[in-house]
Amino acid sequence: MKLYLVLLVVLVAVLSTIYGAPSKGSTKASLKKKATCTKECGETYKPVCASEGDRKISFGSECVLSNYNCENQKNLRVVSQGECPGGGGVRLS
């Protein structure tokens, strides 16, 4: 009986370690920051090309860019309307 109890405790400990750990980026601080930064941007697609130095990134809207800047403590600025030349994809959220 004691062996079953010990095995049960070990099993619960292993399962809680595997399934109880927070996923990457879900610490209390990061969740709080995302909650304060994130604005609802809707589904409007008005792409903008933003830049911080030589690096250019396309965003689905200025709202998405604003959320990105807040969450990542960046200061990317709109350099043109539409997607950035050269492809590379568009960040939609």
CATH of the domain at 51: 3.30.60.30
What domain range is 65 assigned to? Answer: 43-92
Flag whether 79 is in a domain. Answer: yes
Flag whether 28 is in a domain. Answer: no
Flag whether 33 is in a domain. Answer: no
What was the pLDDT predicted at 23? Answer: 54
Flag whether 88 is in a domain. Answer: yes
* The CA-based dihedral angle spanning residues 65, 66, 70, 76, taken in that order and rounded to the nearest 10 degrees: 60
Q: Which of 88, 82, 91, 83 is nearest to 64 (CA)?
A: 91
As for how many domains the chain has, the answer is: 1
Flag whether 6 is in a domain. Answer: no
The string of pLDDT tens digits covering residues 52-93 is: 888 899 999 999 999 999 999 999 999 999 999 987 789 888
